Amino acid sequence: MPSKTPLPSENAADPNYKAAPPLDKEGYLKNLSDWSPEAATWIAEKEGITLTDAHWEVIQLLRAFYNAFDHAPNNRVLVKYCAQNLGAERVSSAWLMQLFGGSPAKTAAKLAGLPRPTHCL
């Protein structure tokens, strides 16, 4: 899993300055190609989430799901896909809610740099 990376600096005079990627009004990346582990960490910070290895496992699964199916999964599909890949004894909707909050599929998609899942409230 990626190590903790610095967030984009808001100070253009900072020698490590890296502009934050543009987000839409809901906080999703405008350009999927702008995703990076640093972008995920930055978005997580904006969402009040400190990424752990478990978060990174789900983020990587989501990105694989998107590459295979060309859409981000809704909550029900996310739970099933994670259970199939990480183990049903470990994964539940409650576990995903602990990691990502009230709407795990939406928040996890943001962190994975994916579009908003369809059919998510």
Q: Active-site residues: which are they?
A: 120
Distance separating alpha carbons of residues 45 and 119, to the nearest angstrom: 25
Q: Which of 41, 33, 42, 35 is nearest to 3 (CA)?
A: 41
Distance separating alpha carbons of residues 75 and 97, to the nearest angstrom: 10
Q: Which helix (H) or strand (E) holds 104?
A: helix 104-111
Judge contact between 16 and 6, C-beta under 8 A.
yes
Distance separating alpha carbons of residues 57 and 83, to the nearest angstrom: 12
**CA 100, 119, 29 angle in degrees (round to 5)?**
55
